[in-house]
Amino acid sequence: MPDLPNSASRRELLSALNPVRVFEKRDYEAISLPKPRIQPSAGVTVRLSARVMACDFSVIMNPRSTEKIEAAEQIEAAGEALEIVSAIEGWLSIYRDSSELSIVNRTAGDTEVHVRRELFELLQKALEIHLRTDGAFDMATGSLTRLWRTCRRENRIPLQSEIDVALHNAGLSHVDLQPKSQSVGFRQPGIVLDPGAIGKGYALDEARDWLRKHAHGPRSFLLHGGHSSLIGRGEHNGHPGWPVGIGNPLFTEKRLGTVLLCDQAMATSGSNIQFFRHEGKRYGHILDPRTGWPVDGMLSVTVLAPSAALADALSTAFFVMGVEKARLCCENWPEVGAILLPFPDKGNKVHPTVVNIPQELIVWDEDQVDQT
């Protein structure tokens, strides 16, 4: 399981000791040292996966002996959940010309388009997040994404004039949502809705809801959407949640620590894997929708939230906003937690800013994390 600690990496992580005065020998018996924190470890699981939305979606479950539900019933329910994800891809993907979202992108600039309830509600959610993040999250930036993708293939950087044109044809501020008719219209031709920063999370939410309502579904499970989006529900291996590794964006083969994910979703955004270099400069894949240029001020952002769609969108928005603005936004959103990782000032240790996540849910690796 790539996102859970493996047997080779399981070890105890001692809590950092605060500086203390020098004790006389007679004082030793009075010293009360903090107990070492044990890194949560993964146990035996059952896993069902499918290739959907250009990545591996997985339902990870506890073995039958801990669930009181027949294994065949668990697997059948998990398979149905993955079928729901596949069905969502059918109407949400912008890489399928026949999908409902592709039809909206082609025609909503000319006339309002009636859409299914699920798509309309997703667009409403995207608009709410857009407004609450001051535009740092924007689902209507497909023109910018296409421009940078084309320039990357051509091994060049876009001209500012090209970015200006793409910006003119971007932005949820140009999208009209009509609740009464459940329709979508574009006030500006050339708008392209792109669900890349929220679609996988939405699909995970729908899969979770299906499993929760299923009479024979697993009571505890971990849902994966690629390597960046997850939902954990229930218990695992004696823990009140699922242990999930936090990757080190500086050294991708290592982990900064472990988060215990319990009845929450988690998403991570960063540019340590998807990037390209041009004339010696590094350009990440996450664009600031307000400027049209890649963001380069952060290493990574991990968000914990009640839904995977919200966690996905906010991890991207917080990456764009930077540490201070992301911290303020998160503090005004009490059900949302975040781990913000800026570039280290010196050395190889990162210094995370943690907001709205209880300390007992995270165990850091002292060799890689500066907690001072």
Chain centroid offset of residue 16 CA: 29
Share of the chain above pLDDT 70, in %: 86
Judging by DSSP bridges, how do beta strands 37-38 and 281-284 pair with one another? unpaired
* Predicted local confidence at residue 2, as pLDDT: 39
Q: Name the E strands within 249-292.
A: 255-261, 264-270, 275-278, 281-284
Q: Are 249 and 284 in contact (CB under 8 A)?
A: no
Q: Evaluate if residue 302 carries a pLDDT over 70.
A: yes
Q: Are 269 and 300 in contact (CB under 8 A)?
A: yes
* Predicted local confidence at residue 278, as pLDDT: 65
C-alpha–C-alpha distance, residues 219 and 212, integer Å: 7
Q: Which residue has the higher pLDDT, 17 or 55?
A: 55
User: Which listed CATH number (3.40.47.10, 3.20.20.60, 1.10.150.110, 1.10.3980.10) goes with 98-186?
Assistant: 1.10.3980.10
Q: Are 199 and 92 in contact (CB under 8 A)?
A: yes
Q: Evaluate if residue 33 carries a pLDDT over 60.
A: no
Q: Evaluate if residue 162 carries a pLDDT over 60.
A: yes
Q: Which residue has the higher pLDDT, 272 or 235?
A: 235
Least confident of 46-50, 136-140, 170-174, 269-273: 269-273
Farthest CA pair distance, the chain: 85
241-258 pLDDT tens trace: 999 999 888 888 888 999
pLDDT class of 308 with cuts at 50, 70, 90: very high
255-270 pLDDT tens trace: 899 999 999 999 999 8
* Predicted local confidence at residue 279, as pLDDT: 64
- Averaged pLDDT for residues 308-334: 96
Q: Evaluate if residue 31 carries a pLDDT over 80.
A: no
Task: Name which of 55, 54, 59, 99 is nearest 81 in CA terms.
Answer: 59
User: Among the ranges 4-8, 23-27, 186-190, which has the highest mean pLDDT value?
Assistant: 186-190
* Predicted local confidence at residue 19, as pLDDT: 30
How is the chain split into domains, by residue range?
98-186
Q: Are 85 and 208 in contact (CB under 8 A)?
A: no
Output the pTM of the full model: 0.87
